[in-house]
């Protein structure tokens, strides 16, 4: 007796989806949601929403769990959503000279020499830490939802005669 590897055409699960269904998902590049997330974090940073990287990190944690991202891919997106997203908001402030006094104070408190970029570097490091702290509960939420107990199916009740 041999088994056939072909699927029967009458099974709904084996058929191809409708031509228009989810065709938009095939046209959107895989990196587009991450870039949109980075743009949202940049706008949030420009508006003073300092916690935006943590929220983006939580979303990244859920997406990383659903998509099965490994450590390296999650780390790359964490850098994109944190420090790289904050640069457009911080660079004009820094180039306008707003960080000179703050640099000296932060360098003195950290015990490092005043190199002129201390505050910018520490701020970008804080953005990275925020994203990574956000990834943790996002990944945990995905794990909890994935392993949540399901209600057992009840057999149908027999019809009374």
The model's pLDDT over 102-129, given as tens digits with 9 standing for 90+, comes to: 666 767 777 777 666 777 787 888 889 9
Q: Is the Cβ–Cβ distance between 130 and 54 less than 8 Å? A: yes
pLDDT of 145 > 80? The answer is no
For residue 130, count other CB atoms closer than 10 A to its CB: 24
CA distances from 161 to 67, 155, 158 (A): 51, 18, 9
pLDDT of 86 > 50? The answer is yes
Average pLDDT over residues 10-20: 47
Higher per-residue confidence, 17 vs 101: 101
pLDDT of 137 > 80? The answer is yes
Q: Token pair for residue 35? A: 């870039």
User: Which residues have a Cβ under 8 Å from the Cβ of 44 and sit 6 or more positions away?
Assistant: 52
For residue 133, count other CB atoms closer than 10 A to its CB: 14
Higher per-residue confidence, 58 vs 7: 58
118 class by beta-carbon count within 10 Å (0-12 exposed, 13-18 middle, 19+ buried): buried
Q: Is the Cβ–Cβ distance between 79 and 128 less than 8 Å? A: yes
Average pLDDT over residues 19-25: 53
- Tally the residues of the chain: 161
Return the pLDDT at 13. Answer: 45
* Nearest of 92, 90, 85 to residue 134 by alpha carbon: 85
User: Which residues have a Cβ under 8 Å from the Cβ of 101 and sit 6 or more positions away?
Assistant: none
pLDDT of 12 > 50? The answer is no
pTM, 2 dp: 0.65
Return the pLDDT at 17. Answer: 47
Q: What would the pLDDT profile of 38-77 be if each residue is shown by its tens digit?
A: 999 999 888 888 889 999 999 888 888 888 888 888 889 9
pLDDT of 24 > 60? The answer is no
Q: Is the Cβ–Cβ distance between 82 and 57 less than 8 Å? A: yes
């Amino acid at each position: 007796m041999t088994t056939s590897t072909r699927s029967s055409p009458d099974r709904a699960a084996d058929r191809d989806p409708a031509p228009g269904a989810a065709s938009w998902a095939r046209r959107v590049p895989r990196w587009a949601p991450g870039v949109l997330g980075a743009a949202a974090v940049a706008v949030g940073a420009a508006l003073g929403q300092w916690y935006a990287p943590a929220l983006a990190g939580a979303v990244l944690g859920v997406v990383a769990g659903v998509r099965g991202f490994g450590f390296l891919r999650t780390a790359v997106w964490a850098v994109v959503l944190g420090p790289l997203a904050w640069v457009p908001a911080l660079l004009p402030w820094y180039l306008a000279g707003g960080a000179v006094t703050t640099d000296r104070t932060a360098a003195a408190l950290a015990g490092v020499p005043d190199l002129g970029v201390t505050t910018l570097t520490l701020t970008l490091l804080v953005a990275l830490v925020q994203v990574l702290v956000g990834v943790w509960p996002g990944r945990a939420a995905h794990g909890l939802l994935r392993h949540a107990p399901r209600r057992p199916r009840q057999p149908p009740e027999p019809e009374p005669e």
